[in-house]
A and B are shown apart, each in its own frame.
Chain A
Amino acid sequence: MKKLLMAAATVALMSTPVQAEDIKIGVILGYTGPIESLTPDMAAGAELAIKEISDSGALLGGSKVSSIRADTTCTDSAAATTATERLVTSDKVNAIVGGDCSGVTTAMLQNVALPNGVVMISPSATSPALSSIEDKGLFFRTAPSDARQGQVLTAILKDRGIKQAALTYTNNDYGKGLAESIKANFEKAGGKITISAAHEDGKADYTAEVGALASAGGDVLIVAGYLDQGGKGIIQASLDTGAFDTFVLPDGMIGDSLPIAIGSDLNGSFGTVPGTDSPGAAKFSDMAKSAGFKAGPFASESYDAAALILLSMQAAKSSDSNVFKSKVMSVANAPGVKIYPGELAKALKIIADGGDVDYVGASAVELIGPGESAGNYREIEVADGKNTTAKFR
């Protein structure tokens, strides 16, 4: 009798078809704080992918997927940890799209995701420190590390024949990581960073900071800050005092509001923002438009983060983070059928039939090393008071 039961149990286990279930994805981004102007589109991007997959009815035997939002504040690690804790322990989310800013993302990962074993894919945390963090294979990002941005910026500076540059960064994880990466790469390439100085956000006046930067000198000023914050103040003060004419703008400084605020003096400045000329980007832009939001910075990365999570669940035949975490890399990378935005139902079917997919998505995802995007960048040049795309890198 005992044997019979055992056998029956084994058979039942082996042959159980995947049970349809309710899967929950936490979308944890900074809906308030320094990047609050970007996060609504990012969340909409992630939720677009979630809806697409849920509506297809092809995930894990017709499972439904829903999303729950929570606020990281971008700056307050304690608030982000509490919000994540709530989603993981009380709402019982299966995986997380988030966090957004590097500092809070680290806190969320170490305080909540690791102890509870939940997969986190961040669409926008770019600090190089996250590459080497101990993550038990649970953390990925569809955004490239700023180590890569440092290389790209260096290449652009060299192409433009710039030998000396002054550097200022916003005093947080993002600014520091990016500044270190730019400095290391630029000096390796034979350039000289005359000064690397932090600035605090939210001050009324940056003349003193600019004074120090001007004293060190340089052909250009690299401003690794935020466009609505100290970054703008530094540029305005530099122009007012005639300290610098040309500015190098990393991704935190790219947005429509900056050229409008500064005016024609910003023409000729240049910078980088994650972006790609792959067909996925254009397709996603159309999908976003018909869904009623803008494919702004990091929106496509958010779509890809959500899609990767759900496709990996399908590949692992499980919604358990500790099981599907091992499938994320293989879903994201070759070999397999290339998957673009809007083709998630097709991807689910290929995987269910035992096939292989190579998820390209909206941001040309290619995960490298510790599970982060290899990084495609748009080189931006400000001309006639607008950000224009010079080329792709």
Chain B
Amino acid sequence: MVDFLNAFALLSNFVIVPAMTYGSQLALGALGVTLVYGILRFSNFAHGDTMAFGTMVTIFATWGLQSAGVSIHPLPTALLALPVGIAATVALCLVIDRSVYKFYRKSRSVPVVFLIASVGVMFVLNGVVRFIIGPGDQRFADGERFIIKAKAFKKLTGLNEGIAFKTSQGLTIVTAIIVVAALFWFLNRTRSGKSMRAYSDNEDLARLSGINPERVVMITWTLAAVLATIAGVLYGLDKSFKPFTYFQLLLPIFASAIVGGLGNPLGAIAGGFVIAFSEVVVAYAYKKFLTYLVPEQWAPDSLVQLLSTDYKFAVSFVILVLVLLIRPTGIFKGKGA
């Protein structure tokens, strides 16, 4: 029994907790992508860099608060700075929509034109963020780092294996649940949410029933900006902020959105966790885990690792390819990629 608990603790520490956290971060990112896809009907490649922009503004606000001596110990100060980042990102997204996407919307361009325009926006934002904050690592996490440390857990339970649970991991999971609940409440219960869904289902019919398309677009960008900033700040708190990693994050985020079904919010969440868990589960070495579970003479000599951790990204793409082959609309029925 103790062996079983040890094995479970080990797996929790290295697989379940990190994958839950990563999955929540991906889900929040994928929700933003999927909303824009569902309503504006294009894949927004600038989403990763929108996340980076929001996080950057939040970091500056955090530094400002820190130097002013404001703190909400044991929680990170960045939570207090988050509204500033959100406000700036919402403004940015609305300005970009006015200056770039509106033109194409008026001329009723095909989605691929929007997509290419978003690639342009991505490069501009990428440059702006690096220009302002620099390409290097920025750490802005403060407050209590751990909810429970591995050593403390070992002492508490008397097990050989500890489970470390970082504050940032707890925050990420809790925030993700709150944000998702709020989003679904908004989409299903409010007038604006319903008009968004109507617009997404059938644009012309929605216009005929008196829904103002510009208002729907504005709300969509606002939601996307809020989601991007929250996802970016949580990722930065949990790992570290570096513009380039946010750019790279775009790939697993899109994989999540597509696997779940592009345009379907529920799918984005499921996709995020599918991608996160498969990346972590496939790359984990099970030697120690099995050693606890099987009789001593069966204990493996090798690492029992399916794939080296270098292939983590490849895993999400294999899943993406499989899903597209077998079920092109994603796990939950989306609009098709």
Contact = CB atoms under 8 A, between A and B. Distances in A.
A136 interface: no
Given A197-B309, A204-B240, A241-B13, 5 more contacts: A171-B310, A212-B303, A216-B288, A240-B164, A240-B166
B242 A215 contact: no
Contact of B309 (A212, A216, A241, A242): A212
Interface in B245-292: 245, 279-280, 283-289
A199 B146 CA distance: 25
Interface in B11-59: 13-15, 18, 22
| Interchain residue pairs A-B with the least CB separation, the first 5 | A242-B150, A211-B14, A204-B239, A215-B285, A212-B285
A345 to B, nearest CB: 43
Contact of B287 (A171, A199, A208, A215): A215
Given A202-B244, A205-B239, A241-B150, A212 B305 contact: yes
B64 to A, nearest CB: 23
Interface in B285-337: 285-289, 303-305, 308-310, 312
B151 interface: yes
Contacts of A209: 309
A216 B303 CA distance: 6
A70 interface: no
Contact of B283 (A199, A200, A205, A208): A208
Contacts of A199: 309
B199 interface: no
A204 B235 contact: yes
Contacts of B303: 195, 212, 215-216
B280 A208 contact: yes
29 contacts: A195-B303, A197-B308, A202-B242, A202-B244, A202-B245, A204-B239, A204-B240, A205-B239, A208-B18, A208-B283, A208-B312, A211-B14, A211-B15, A211-B283, A211-B284, A212-B303, A212-B309, A214-B14, A215-B286, A215-B289, A215-B303, A215-B304, A216-B285, A216-B303, A241-B13, A241-B150, A242-B149, A242-B150, A242-B154
A211 B285 contact: yes
Contacts of A202: 242, 244-245
B166 to A, nearest CB: 6
Nearest to B290: A215
| A interface, size bucket | 20 to 34
A204 B245 contact: yes
Interface of A: 171, 195, 197-200, 202-205, 207-212, 214-217, 233, 240-242
Nearest to B145: A240
Interface residues of B, number: 37
Contacts of B235: 204
Contacts of A207: 14, 18, 280
A210 B14 CA distance: 8
B76 interface: no
B282 to A, nearest CB: 10
Interface of B: 13-15, 18, 22, 145-146, 149-151, 154, 162, 164, 166, 235, 238-240, 242, 244-245, 279-280, 283-289, 303-305, 308-310, 312
Nearest to A198: B310
Contact of B288 (A203, A215, A242): A215
A363 to B, nearest CB: 30
A118 B337 CA distance: 57
A208 B309 contact: yes
Nearest to A229: B137
A195 B304 CA distance: 12
B13 A200 contact: no
A195 B285 CA distance: 11
A208 B288 contact: no
Contacts of A242: 13, 149-151, 154, 162, 164
A211 B285 CA distance: 7
Nearest to B245: A204
B288 A217 contact: yes
A215 B240 contact: no
A386 to B, nearest CB: 20
Contacts of B149: 242
Nearest to A233: B240
A75 to B, nearest CB: 14
A208 B284 contact: yes
Contacts of A240: 145-146, 150, 164, 166
A267 to B, nearest CB: 15
Contacts of B309: 197, 199, 208-209, 211-212
A22 B145 CA distance: 60
Contacts of B14: 207, 210-211, 214-215, 241
A205 B246 CA distance: 12
Contacts of B310: 171, 198, 200
Contacts of A197: 308-309
Contacts of A217: 288
Contacts of B289: 215
B284 to A, nearest CB: 5
A195 B308 CA distance: 12
A240 B240 CA distance: 14
A198 B289 CA distance: 22
